[in-house]
């Protein structure tokens, strides 16, 4: 046991003496690319949010029960920076979605969210990957 420890420590002490210098020739480009990264990532994520919301809205309209068509037509989407919302604006939509004591629930919006999950995840994975590829391209 002592033999192994002394061999390791003597090898380590020899490695400590080695001095390696690396010169990064494109350091300016790397710094510029990383300074632009938050803006690019925000833009890409906003696009992924928009695609996701429209996908969920489309599926929700398909899932919504139709009597007069107003529930489907009342769907609206709203966007802000890194945020998106969608849903019907019909005053009775909550009663259709959640149900009442006289009517069973028909959770058309929740079903739309669940059925669109893999697509939504794909939008975000692609947005992040594309942004990282752009940053790498700028550096290279």
Lowest mean pLDDT among 33-42, 81-90, 102-111: 33-42
- Residue 101: is its pLDDT beyond 60? yes
**Rounded Cα gap, residues 15 and 69, in angstroms:** 76
Most confident region among 22-26, 33-37, 87-91 by mean pLDDT: 87-91
Most confident region among 14-23, 25-34, 117-126 by mean pLDDT: 117-126
Radius of gyration of the chain (CA): 27
pTM over 0.85: no
- Mean pLDDT over 111-115 rounds to 96
Neighbouring residues of 54: CB distance < 8 A, sequence distance ≥ 6: 77, 86
Write down the pLDDT at residue 13: 52
Nearest residue to 93 via CA among 111, 75, 117, 71: 71
φ, ψ of residue 45 in degrees (nearest 5): -70, -35
The 10s digit of each residue's pLDDT in 46-74 is: 999 999 999 999 999 999 999 999 999 99
- Mean pLDDT over 35-53 rounds to 94
Write down the pLDDT at residue 26: 79
| Band (136; pLDDT cuts 50, 70, 90) | confident
- Mean pLDDT over 79-92 rounds to 95
Query: Tokens 């994520």 belong to which residue?
Result: 45
Write down the pLDDT at residue 20: 67
């Amino acid at each position: 046991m002592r033999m192994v420890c002394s061999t390791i420590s003597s090898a380590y002490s020899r490695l400590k003496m080695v001095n390696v210098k690396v010169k990064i020739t494109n350091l300016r480009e790397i710094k510029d690319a990383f300074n632009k990264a938050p803006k690019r990532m925000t833009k890409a994520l906003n696009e992924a949010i928009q695609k996701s919301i429209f996908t969920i809205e489309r599926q929700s309209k398909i899932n919504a029960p139709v009597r007069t068509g107003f529930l489907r037509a009342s769907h609206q989407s709203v966007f802000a920076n890194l945020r998106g919302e969608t849903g019907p604006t019909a005053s009775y939509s909550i009663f259709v979605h959640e149900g009442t004591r006289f009517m069973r629930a028909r959770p058309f919006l929740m079903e739309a969210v669940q059925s669109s999950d893999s697509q939504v995840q794909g939008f975000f994975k692609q947005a992040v990957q594309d942004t990282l590829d752009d940053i790498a391209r700028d550096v290279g």
